[in-house]
Structure 1
């Protein structure tokens, strides 16, 4: 009799565990963004508890810096249960979802996003906004001055305004760096003249030459040194009087 009671209790416990497991699976949806707690970390894998029967497994390469046990990370559920009974999750997909949320917010609020000018393409540049998301930067919006050598901007990390996020229902991001640079120049100019008055002597760095003088970097914005102000005598070539 006691043996039968023990067996019945064991069956009840197994049934309860199975029901709890099925409920945990029902709580997860494929494509869902969830929070997971890191339970184990190795050089190749990071395991997170997202409430399933087993921990979700994330390749360590998806982290820029390995987390510690107990840290909470965002992941996307790729598969509620694979053939081995494990929950398949992706941190990279979660990062991309977060990025798109931030891009949409930046576009709505007209705030800046960070990116890297990746390469020259037709009529402009391809900008990497991270996590595989690319944007188009028209060459006319790439700098505050005319760009003579397009390759000179490749590799630059900068801030951008998002001019367009979608076109015909598809993601088609267009960004603007020129607007950001012009605002930065205005800020630098205001800061400069808050401590400097007309007639003060200041130092600057020669940036470029023209037939009528030289442009001097005064600290984030340019000032013009006119050819007539370079010397008491007649000046034919600005390069003969100031050096870069």
Structure 2
């Protein structure tokens, strides 16, 4: 009897051990299974990422081109080299921001406004469109180029009409002087400064004088001016007036302008006259310089004229 009980205990222990093994295996399997990461909620979890596909009109290539054209036409249509007016939108230490009605504002160096006193926001200025879009996509404007363009237009006009203009001698150069006319540099040859030869050009630098445009070069936008031409015009007018009133026996005041062996040439205010050596003095002289000197003023009698 005791033997049977022992056998039953052995069977029970054996069955109990068998039952514990699956449980232990289940525990091990649970331990080795991957653990799911905790879900972190964000502020955009409820955002519908398909919203960009809603209420969006799809245009054909022709329609897109049409609407692009309408948009572009809301801006001023400009071309490179065009002269336009714009308003000053802002001033920086180095540049002036100009609005010409284009899709972007343009910058002009402050140096180009050195002649403008009290430039301020809202002022209207004239500029040239150098490039609608440079390499960086910026609108390139220039006030200096616009001024030169307008100056050249005026120079061409006064050359046609023969109008007398005013300019300022800014510097000396080889063979003459540089003259600022309407904001543009022109050339004044040394031979066109005066009717008399000029050797000292420095005395004219900084002076404001009257000129005539005597020559232009359209290809290189270059102009030649003359002050001598005005003097000659005045002299010619005076000469015509003197001749119209000239009579034999008339007494005129003249200035000695040149002395030669046979006499002296007199400037009679636009008309040159010759005073022979025999008519200079009652007494006999060997050379006019014995009695006369350059720039001396004296009264003379008109003996004859042609």
The answer for the alignment partner of 1:49 in structure 2 is 99
- Report which of the two structures shows the higher radius of gyration computed on alpha carbons: 2
Deviation at 1:172, TM superposition (A): 4.0
Deviation at 1:157, TM superposition (A): 2.6
What is the aligned length?
A: 199
The answer for the alignment partner of 2:162 in structure 1 is 110
Does 2:126 correspond to 1:74?
A: yes
Contact 1:48–1:57 (Cα < 8 Å) also in 2 = yes
TM-score, normalised to structure 2, is: 0.50
Deviation at 1:107, TM superposition (A): 0.6
Deviation at 1:25, TM superposition (A): 6.1
Does 2:118 correspond to 1:60?
A: no
The answer for the alignment partner of 2:196 in structure 1 is 145
Contact 1:103–1:113 (Cα < 8 Å) also in 2 = no
The answer for the alignment partner of 1:232 in structure 2 is none
| Cα RMSD after superposing both structures | 4.5
Contact 2:105–2:139 (Cα < 8 Å) also in 1 = yes
Deviation at 1:96, TM superposition (A): 0.7
Could you tell me which of 151, 166, 179 is aligned with 2:217? 166
Q: 1:237 to 1:185 in 2, by over 3 A?
A: closer
Alpha-carbon distance between aligned partners in 1 of 2:138 and 2:173, rounded to the nearest angstrom: 43
1:147 match: secondary structure: coil
Stretches of structure 2 that go unaligned for 5 or more consecutive residues are 1-50, 60-64, 238-255, 271-279, 281-289, 295-306
Contact 2:163–2:212 (Cα < 8 Å) also in 1 = yes
Stretches of structure 1 that go unaligned for 5 or more consecutive residues are 188-207, 216-220, 222-227, 229-234, 240-244
Q: 1:172 to 1:145 in 2, by over 3 A?
A: same
1:133 match: secondary structure: strand
How big is each residue's C-alpha offset from its partner over 1:95-120, in whole Å with a ceiling of 9 and x where there is no partner? 11110111011111111233333214
Deviation at 1:7, TM superposition (A): 5.7
- Highest relative contact order (Cα 8 Å, sep 6+), 1 or 2? 1
The answer for the alignment partner of 2:299 in structure 1 is none
How big is each residue's C-alpha offset from its partner over 1:18-38, in whole Å with a ceiling of 9 and x where there is no partner? 655533567111111111122
1:68 match: secondary structure: coil
How big is each residue's C-alpha offset from its partner over 1:110-167, in whole Å with a ceiling of 9 and x where there is no partner? 1123333321423x434343655332x2323202433243443334332210011127
Alpha-carbon distance between aligned partners in 2 of 1:171 and 1:83, rounded to the nearest angstrom: 28
Between Structure 1 and Structure 2, the one with more strand by share is 1
Alpha-carbon distance between aligned partners in 2 of 1:138 and 1:144, rounded to the nearest angstrom: 12
